[in-house]
Structure 1
Amino acid sequence: MLCLSPRAPCLPGPHAKAPPPAGAAGNARRTTLRAAPRRWRLARPRGCSAAAPVPVPAPRTTAERWGSLREMRRVWWVCGAGYWVQGFRCFPWLALNFHLTRGLGLSPVALQLVQNAGSLPLVAKPLFGVLSDAVYIGREHRLPYISIGALLQLTAWGTLAIMPVTGDTFPTHMICILIGNLGASVTEVVSDAVVTEFSRTQRTGVLQSYAFIGLAAGALLGNLSGGYVLLRTQEPKIMFTAFSVLLGLQLALSIGTKETLPSSHGNSRSLLVKSSLPANLRKQFSNLMTAVREERIFYPLAWIMTSFAVVPVLSGTMFCFQTQHLKLDSSIIGLSKVMGQVMVVSLTVLYNRHLKRIPLRRLVCGVQIMYAFAVLSELILVKQVNLMLGIPNEVYVLCFSALAEAIAQFKVLPFSILLSSLCPPGCEGSLFAFFTSGLVFSAILSGVFGVGLSALIGLSSGGYSSLPLGILLQSLAALLPLAWLSFVPENWTADGKIVKQR
């Protein structure tokens, strides 16, 4: 046992050597000890013998490694299903837009305000990322948060499915929208963190591309089936109920899966479990701020966020123009979104095979110019030039209406791969949550600017005569980010890079 004693020769233990014979040297040694100041220390056990070596954990057997691999695959399936479900959220949101405009009678500007205000919980993603990195729930810190996010969404959409359609229920509708987006933000943050952890052992960009494809596949099926179901039933609550059932399945899958990640064995982050909650949070926030302050991370983040924020969007106005002025069916709107997701999948596959060889700055420059021209192409529909060319409104909306949205969605992919390669270990959830919340905040600013632009040019009064001017200004604003394109790395490419586990 440990004993507290003055600094003096230790008592001989069972394995201690015999003391040297007394003599001049021994007398000098005793004199030195008496003259030295008395300091207290913890005496070593077993006669001052050396400390025992730290035991090394036994290597895992082959069966244990295969079992761990199977569990990691199940975690990846849970994550992939989460991406698919998040993409499928357009299924109930298509019904919700019709529900708000036709059931509750919201104007185009009010609809756009609801869409942007409902996205406010997505801005809090950094908090959820820090929590998932630092706070463990039952020795797990990813899958429990996916379960929480699915439960919040299930509560929100289930409530919307049973709520009566009256004007005085609008505040409750808004609360459900906020809760649903809160759950979606938690799920998205944790899914991004899981992808980042898995991507450390894969080729750069492969898993991110698969995640984008899963997200786009869910959106493709959601828009395709949403337009059809809404056209046949004219009842949004059926779609709310169907999506609630899907969320219930996701919740059951995440609860029934054991969390096993590539970092589960031998990762220093397991020490966080033994620390206090405030210490974990302080450390994680400090790590996040340190990572964001790095120039190689800060400047690309600043560019991608401002490239969205400076462009005023008129999504609510265009939705009302297509459905109320042009009298297009909901199935056409849904199919146009399907075509947009097909474009996203095609661009993702093209990037994974060819475009990732292009330096990032040159690639982003071309994508931004394409986005500006895609926004400008809306003038063809608004001025009815397509009818002069013999192209019906339905065909034009089906083929080109979602082009700008698809390009904007694809533009995020190269930056997510860049951040994945630069993300410090232990900050996966925090950094990607900061990234996605910045994009959401930029989208909210863009929507607010769009509402202001609509009011400035007279679109809020219900007429669409000034809509061409708004589209022209929106297209010009899309070219502004080219002025600070130097923020984007000039020579970075994702081709051939291997991100090894650190």
Structure 2
Amino acid sequence: MSQILALTVLFYFIQTYVSNPGISSLALSIYLKEALGLSARESANFVGIAFLPWMIKPIFGAIADSFPLLGYQFKSYFIVCYGLATGFFLFLATLKSYPLPVLTVGAVSISACIAFSDVLADKFMIEVGKPIGKTGLLQALQWTGMGLGGVITSYLGGQIAQYQTLSFAFWVSIIFPLLGIVVVLVWMPEKKVKSGTVSMRKSFHSLWVALRSPSFLAIASFVFLLGIKPLPPLLYYQRDVLRFSEEFFGVLGAFGFLGMGLGVIAFGIWFRQCQQKILLKLAVVAGALSAISLASIFDQNSAILAQILSNCAAIIAFLSLSEAFVRSCPDRIEGTFYACFVSVVNFAAMIGAIAGGWLYDRGFPFPLLAIGAALYGTLGWLFLPIANGNFTSDR
């Protein structure tokens, strides 16, 4: 059991270390802005393209369910994902210059590796934890690994962005994927299987059933409209107007993950058992609070407080929608249905960032955009009757 617990933490630690957000992400963002001269909208476009693999996770899930690799459902896929991520980072680290097309291809490739490994980590949590009644514990450990990785990665990423080169950041990014390969090879308990848990045809049929479900379309529309708040990349405002250093960006990111942890704890204690109608209202309010808190940033101290509050509220909003959505999943396609939900959330966030970047580039001040995003978020209240009608009653 100790192996399973440690692996669960490690998988999510690696995810935050490599690509979500990634120890090289701040150095890369600074490079895109100041070396390549990308605008806020162009940076948002880059991030959106880089995170496209996270929007097709249901397809990755269907592949993992249908095709064991070399007789293993988990071990071989983890090794391939971490091995490819290591190879892509190694390639980027050895370059002497970084044109935008090369960075884009590299970012998408690494993101695909980590998105696939995230699908495997979730699948591992369900298949290992469900028979022994430990899925709740494993989910808590997933958040622990993500939070721990986020704090460490953000802080060290700020130090690297301040004092080292982008090439050095890519070299450092190799460490934990390599460690993941060794740990999976030596320590991961798994028996060989002859076939997948379901056929590819059945997997994609389940995906099609989920996507064409009227309830999914209605709920996904609500989630999408709620998620496309036009907020530009915060780095541009904090760098151009407030003159924050790379080192402080790292500190700020660490406090942001602290706020996320507080939000997870608060949701687990006070809100997890709420009725679905309450959860949807909470999602609207918390989402608006997350946006408007960013309007109060005017110096380093206010930035830290705003980052904690914003991330705390944002994760409460996400978990509220997530909990309500899970309760409404049709039987036998729960995993696919939920993966589609997460894809919609990611896509909405990408569209919102691109729209916010476009407005910021045209002279709209960031505090005004944050207030506008919060006001837009409150419009979700008008769609609550429609959303409530498509969520099934509490189970």
Task: Please state which band the TM-score falls in when normalised by the shorter chain.
Answer: 0.7 to 0.9
Displacement of 1:80: 2.5
Residues in 2 aligned to 1:273 and 1:78: alpha-carbon distance in whole angstroms: 22
Is 1:188 paired with 2:90?
no
Residues in 1 aligned to 2:194 and 2:209: alpha-carbon distance in whole angstroms: 20
Is 1:252 paired with 2:170?
no
Is 1:286 paired with 2:205?
yes
Residues in 2 aligned to 1:137 and 1:421: alpha-carbon distance in whole angstroms: 32
Displacement of 1:218: 0.9
Name the structure 2 match of 1:224.
Answer: 155
The match for 2:366 among 467, 475, 486 is 467
Question: Per-residue displacement from partner, 1:92-146 (whole Å, max 9, x unpaired)?
Answer: 1111111222232322222222111211222221211100111111332233222
Query: Any conservation in 2 of the 1:336–1:397 contact (CA below 8 Å)?
Result: yes
**Compared CA separation, residues 199 and 359, structure 1 to 2 (3 A):** farther
Name the structure 1 match of 2:231.
Answer: 313
Name the structure 2 match of 1:355.
Answer: 271
Corresponding letter in the other structure for 1:219: G
Corresponding letter in the other structure for 1:379: A
Name the structure 2 match of 1:84.
Answer: 13
Number of equivalenced pairs: 388
The match for 2:80 among 145, 148, 151 is 148
Query: Any conservation in 2 of the 1:125–1:189 contact (CA below 8 Å)?
Result: yes
Is 1:105 paired with 2:37?
yes
Question: Per-residue displacement from partner, 1:138-187 (whole Å, max 9, x unpaired)?
Answer: 33223322222222322222222222235xx2211111011011111101
Name the structure 1 match of 2:168.
Answer: 238
Is 1:476 paired with 2:394?
no
- The share of aligned pairs that are identical, in percent, is 18
Corresponding letter in the other structure for 1:252: V
**Compared CA separation, residues 162 and 410, structure 1 to 2 (3 A):** farther
Alignment root-mean-square deviation, CA: 3.1
Aligned with 1:256: secondary structure? helix
Identify, as 1 or 2, the structure richer in helix. Answer: 2
Residues in 2 aligned to 1:358 and 1:244: alpha-carbon distance in whole angstroms: 42
Displacement of 1:369: 1.3
Residues in 2 aligned to 1:282 and 1:216: alpha-carbon distance in whole angstroms: 37
Question: Per-residue displacement from partner, 1:442-493 (whole Å, max 9, x unpaired)?
Answer: 22222233244x1xxxx325x5x64343223212111122222342548648
Displacement of 1:306: 3.6
Name the structure 1 match of 2:138.
Answer: 207
The match for 2:223 among 282, 298, 304 is 304
Query: Any conservation in 2 of the 1:209–1:349 contact (CA below 8 Å)?
Result: no
Displacement of 1:291: 4.8
Aligned with 2:174: secondary structure? helix
Name the structure 2 match of 1:32.
Answer: none
Corresponding letter in the other structure for 1:446: G
**Compared CA separation, residues 357 and 274, structure 1 to 2 (3 A):** closer
Q: Within 5 Å, give how 1:47-446 maps onto structure 2.
A: 73-88=2-17, 89=19, 90=21, 91-165=23-97, 169-201=99-131, 202=133, 205-231=136-162, 233-260=163-190, 272-273=195-196, 280-291=199-210, 300-308=219-227, 310-315=228-233, 318-381=234-297, 384=298, 393-401=299-307, 403-417=309-323, 430-446=336-352
Tell which deviates more after alignment, 366-375 or 295-304. Answer: 295-304
**Compared CA separation, residues 408 and 198, structure 1 to 2 (3 A):** farther
Corresponding letter in the other structure for 1:159: F
Residues in 1 aligned to 2:361 and 2:214: alpha-carbon distance in whole angstroms: 42
For structure 2, list consecutive stretches of 5 or more residues without a partner in the other structure: none
Question: Per-residue displacement from partner, 1:371-430 (whole Å, max 9, x unpaired)?
Answer: 31332233333xx5xxxxxxxx11111221353344323433345456666767875764
Question: Per-residue displacement from partner, 1:239-269 (whole Å, max 9, x unpaired)?
Answer: 22111111111122223344549xx9xxxxx
Corresponding letter in the other structure for 2:149: G
Corresponding letter in the other structure for 2:40: P
Residues in 2 aligned to 1:144 and 1:80: alpha-carbon distance in whole angstroms: 19
Displacement of 1:328: 0.9
Corresponding letter in the other structure for 1:82: F
Residues in 2 aligned to 1:217 and 1:96: alpha-carbon distance in whole angstroms: 22
For structure 1, list consecutive stretches of 5 or more residues without a partner in the other structure: 1-69, 265-269, 385-392, 494-502
Q: TM-score, normalised by structure 2?
A: 0.86
Displacement of 1:331: 2.0
Query: Any conservation in 1 of the 2:272–2:323 contact (CA below 8 Å)?
Result: no
